[in-house]
Each structure stands twice: as C-alpha cells, then as structure tokens.
Amino acid sequence: VGFTRLTPLSEAIAWIDRAVAGWVEVERLSLREARGRVLARDVSAEKNAPPFDRALADGYAVEACSTLGASTYNPLTFRLGDSGGAIFPQASAVALGSPLPANADAVVPLDHVEKDEAGNTFEIIDPIAAGANVERAGAAYSRGTLLLRAGLRLGPGHMALLAEAGIGAVEVVRSPRVQLVVTGKDLVTVGDELPTGAVFDADTPMLRGLVERDGGTVEICMTDRNSAHAVRTAIAARNTDLVIVIGGSGLGANDAIVVEALGRAARPGDDGLSIHGVALRPGLSSGIGRVAGMPLFLLPGLPVACLWAYEMLVGRAVRRLSGRSPELPYPQREFVALRKIVSNIGFVEVWPVRGVADTDCIEPILAAAPDSAGGLFSTVAEAAGFVLIPEASEGIPSGTRTLVYLYDAHRPDSV
C-alpha cells in the first residue's frame, strides 16, 4: 500500500491550469457592487474628459491677450464680472475644476493677483500665456479611448475614473461558487460540546476564509464519511463551479470510501481522481480530478495539511475562476537563512519561518517536518511567512539568500 506514485507539484499545477483555463461567466454590476471584482471586458470612454474646458486653479479666468504688457512698472487692472463696456478688461472668478467662461483661455491663480479692497477689481504684474491653468475639453481622454483593460481587478481609484466617465455599471467575472463537502466523523463545530476523542472542525472556517479571499463564494455540506452514497449525493447536489471534499484523502480504511465515491460520481467526460498523492508536504494525500462535470479537489482533513493543500493547489483554481492572478497572494522578499532548513528530497516542502528582529534574516520555526506535531500552531501563529523548498533540494544552507512569502509586508518580524 502507500501512494504508488506521487505526482510532482509542477505536474499537478499544470493539470489545474489545463482544467481551469479561465472564468466561465460574466455579470453586469453597478460600480458599488463591482469593487474588488475583475473586469471581464475592456471599458472605453463614452465621452470626452473633461467634458468642457476647465480651470486647473482657483483664480480668475481671462483672455490671455489682455494680459500682454503687464509688469511691475505697468500693472494691469481687471474688472470682475460683466464689465459692460468699461475701460478695464474683463475677468471671472473660477474655482479649480469649474468650467471656463466663454472667451477666457487662461486662469490667473489667486495668489498671482493683488485685489482691491472692494474685491471688484484686481491687478496683475505678469502676462499669462494662453492655456495656462486650463485643461481643455477631451485633454484627459476622448470618446473611444480605452480606459480600463479586461483582467484588471477594480480598486477604489478605478471607481473614481469610471464614475467621472459616467460609466455606472461594468461587466465583471462572476464569483466562482465553491462547494465544501466536509466528510468526517467526530467533527464538532466550534461552540458545541466536545465529546472525548472528537475534535473541533477547523477546516470549514479556514476554507471559507481562503475561498472568499480568492474571490469565491462558499456553500457548505456536511456529510458522513462512511457512506459512499452520501458523499456522492453531496457532490452532485448543487450547481457549483468547483468542489472541495475534505477528509478521506488518506489511505486509512475510512478513506477508501471517499475515494471510491469520487470514482462512482463520474459522468461521461469525467476522469475521476486523475491525481491522488502529490509530492507536497504538508498536503501529500491530496487528490485532484473532474467529477460530476466539475473540477474536484480532495483535501486531507488534518488542518495544517488542508491549509497547504488549499494554498498550493485549490487556491490557484479558485483565483483562475475569479479572473485573478493564479500566483500565491503573498508579498515576497529575499531574506538570509540564519539557520539551516533541512528538507526531504522528492517533495516540495512548506516551512514556516520567523524573522529575526533587526536583521535581514529568517529562521525555521520547526525542527521536524512541517506536517508533524504543532504544525498548524507554528504555521499560523508563530510564523511571519514561509519558504517553499523545491523537490530536488535537500534544504537551505545557513547563510543563503532565499525567497520568503510574507503574511504581512509590514510586519516581517515574528509575533
């Protein structure tokens, strides 16, 4: 027994990239609903921006030619408002962003003028060039200009650009629906009484958070691990875009039931579990396939293994379905390994690390492999981030520069 062959992580990732080529559906949402989503279509301007010539300073709109000859020896006086054939050239008070009055072609900023007491006239001592402090209609962009490209994730600044352009709704990638099929016995929801031998269900709240982080929505279904029929029914029950089955991925007696169920759920075109056993630790017993027409991931129930199986495999599929970058959503930075990290050849290993205060160094938190005792606590509470050690590597010698995925770019030190 044992996994007869472990699929290299790179091969598992290639499988996912083939099976989940991109998003499936597009929906049209208002600006408010669309924030955080990924644009499904290019957005082009429907009109010019700004829509009119506008002032780029608080000041006085003038005809530039009327300022010719102004100097300290020859201050020119302007009259505000309608001069009605008066001897002074005319000017109008304008605010930054407001439309330029007809005939005006420049704005004299407030602090370049000397105003009289009554505020009806002002003097200038410098001529101003035509176009100064003025933004012409269409200067930013004109009708048909590409504003935002498909694939962009919409942030607050994009809301401003779209609103300014009068675009109140956009087509975005629909959020993928992810079904969590939680198999297992002796699993108790936190808050309930814990019988001896039972454990709290840590995977469901974690996976909900991970899927939502990656742009998906979650539907949860608890089912009995001992019944292949119950597992099969749960998988086929809902119309979702991806299924995650939790628990039963291993080689124990109960596990066989889940694996068998996944085989039987197959429809024409399905290939069941194409991969079972990935050269990844934690997360070795993960399975990947296509069941009931959907991509399906079988994850180990042990929380630290479930976490890394999601991060290294499932998350990539969810992010692809959401239209996001498939890469791990963590900031990366190079650090120096202060102590050696020993890794087994033949697996990609995830090692939690902590920063060493006031240095550019990190050190491993665990002495043993990360899926052993205390792995979850170390990974999520004691670590500032993690390193990925390639299959062919025996680890990271001390003193070597290595790429670290950080949980929080602002807090590389450990807690």
Site for a copy of itself in 1-60 (CB under 8 A): 1-2, 31-32, 35, 49-52, 56, 58
Nearer to a copy of itself, 68 or 251 (CB): 251
Residues from 267 through 296 that contact a copy of itself (CB under 8 A): 285
Look at the alpha carbons of 346, 348, 351, 357 in this order and tell me if their dihedral is positive or negative: positive
Strand, coil or helix: what is 192?
Answer: strand
d(CA 29, CA 37): 10
SS3 163: helix
Residues 316-375 that bind a copy of itself (CB under 8 A): 325, 327, 331-332, 371-374
Min dist. Cβ of residue 284 to a copy of itself (A): 10
CB 304 within 8 A of CB 370: yes
Report if residue 97 touches a copy of itself, rule: CB under 8 A. yes
Instruction: Pick out residues in 124-143 that bind a copy of itself (CB under 8 A).
Output: 135-136, 139-141
Residues 317/20, Cβ–Cβ less than 8 Å: yes
Nearer to a copy of itself (CB atom), residue 149 or residue 267: 149
Task: Name the minimum Å distance from CB 154 to a copy of itself.
Answer: 9
Residue 70 CA to residue 265 CA, distance in Å, equals: 87
Candidate residues 164, 171, 219, 260; the one interacting with a copy of itself per rule CB under 8 A:
164
Q: Among 147, 180, 318, 365, which residue interacts with a copy of itself (rule: CB under 8 A)?
A: 147
Phi, psi of 9, deg, nearest 5 = -55, -40
Task: Taking the CA atoms of 329, 335, 339 and 345 in sequence, report the sign of the dihedral they define.
Answer: positive
* Contact by Cβ (8 Å): 388, 394: no
Total residues contacting a copy of itself (rule CB under 8 A)? 98
Phi, psi of 397 (to 5 degrees): -65, 150
Q: Which is nearer to a copy of itself, 247 or 395 (CB)?
A: 247
Binding-site member from 190, 220, 345, 403 for a copy of itself (CB under 8 A): 190
Strands 348-355 and 361-364: antiparallel
Given candidates 203, 241, 270, 349, which one binds a copy of itself under the rule CB under 8 A? 203
Cis-peptide into 50, omega within 30 deg: yes
Report in angstroms how near the CB of residue 268 gets to a copy of itself at its nearest: 33
The correct pick among 88, 377, 391, 402 for binding a copy of itself (CB under 8 A) is 377
